[in-house]
Amino acid sequence: MSLIEAAAKTRENAHAPYSNFKVGAAVRTVDGTVYTGCNVENVAYPEGTCAEAGAIAAMCAAGEYQIAEVAVIADSPDPVPPCGGCRQKLAEFAAGDVTVTMATTDGKTKTVTVADLLPGAFDAGHMDRT
């Protein structure tokens, strides 16, 4: 199963009763394991969870911390990029020049890197005070 297919399958489990905008995400780690996530809305909108954050949480829960590849899929006219917060989360775990493939349910895709999505990302080096 491709990374987009894994994201699409998980997208079907999204809890999006308010926006009806289901999103699925999948991350492949450097060892090849795939973790998936879907958006989970809450009636108090800010309390929802993005699909990318869910996939990253599943990866961390399994004890892995390095992403090699990302896929995101939604039913939209054009491929949907991760939100700003998820871009930062992806940058935190990106192992090198990680590609992000964004797809629509009707087959359009766009591939960029995490660095393309978040140039000048805040990282641990910014906290070095020595």
Selected catalytic residue, list 5, 12, 52, 64: 52
Closest CA to 2 of 19, 26, 29: 26
Catalytic residue list contains 52 = yes
How many of the other CB atoms lie within 10 Å of CB of 111? 14
C-alpha–C-alpha distance, residues 70 and 35, integer Å: 10
- Residue 83, marked binder: yes
- Residue 45, marked binder: yes
- Residue 23, marked binder: no
- Residue 38, marked binder: no
The tokens of 63 are what? 């004890």
- Residue 34, marked binder: no
- Residue 13, marked binder: no
112 and 43 Cβ atoms separated by less than 8 Å: no
Going by the annotation, the residues of the binding site for substrate are: 39-45
Active site residues: 52
Going by the annotation, the residues of the binding site are: 39-45, 50, 83, 86
Going by the annotation, the residues of the binding site for Zn(2+) are: 50, 83, 86
